[in-house]
Amino acid sequence: MQDSLDDTFAALADPTRRAVIALLREKPLRSSDMAAALSTSRPAMSRHLGVLRRAGLVEEESPDDDARVRVYQLCREPFSELRTWLDEVEEFWTDQLAAFKAHAEGRARRRR
């Protein structure tokens, strides 16, 4: 799981790729549509989509009627793995803060 998280974080480090994710959250799109929406060249969008595809964050499909057209959509699994990791980090900090609070309150009671 760590390798896939590393790939996910690396792919999402770029603001343009995060913008692509935001667009694809609404609906599947063609590369050219995303390039136009983000004022990015088609070759640059192709490179960004390649990074997202290698990280497993997006997948491409060809509609049945035209094999030349590629439509991109989000893949659920990497985002689920990211959510699981974030939940674990949040649980750790919740426990740490609860322990600190208990410690601070205990010290305050002893001082009275």
Residue 93 pLDDT exceeds 90:
no
Residues 74, 53: Cα–Cα separation, whole Å: 9
Q: pLDDT by residue (tens digit) across 4-15?
A: 899 999 999 999
Residues 57, 45: Cα–Cα separation, whole Å: 15
- Predicted confidence at residue 1, as pLDDT, reads 63
Residue 74 pLDDT exceeds 80:
yes
Residue 34 CA from chain centroid, whole number: 17
Residue 73 pLDDT exceeds 70:
yes
- Domains, in order of start, for the chain: 2-111 (1.10.10.10)
Residue 48 has, within 13 A of its CA and on its CB side, a CA count of 22
Q: pLDDT by residue (tens digit) across 13-38?
A: 999 999 999 999 999 999 999 999 99
Could you tell me the pTM of the whole model?
A: 0.76
Residue 69 pLDDT exceeds 90:
no
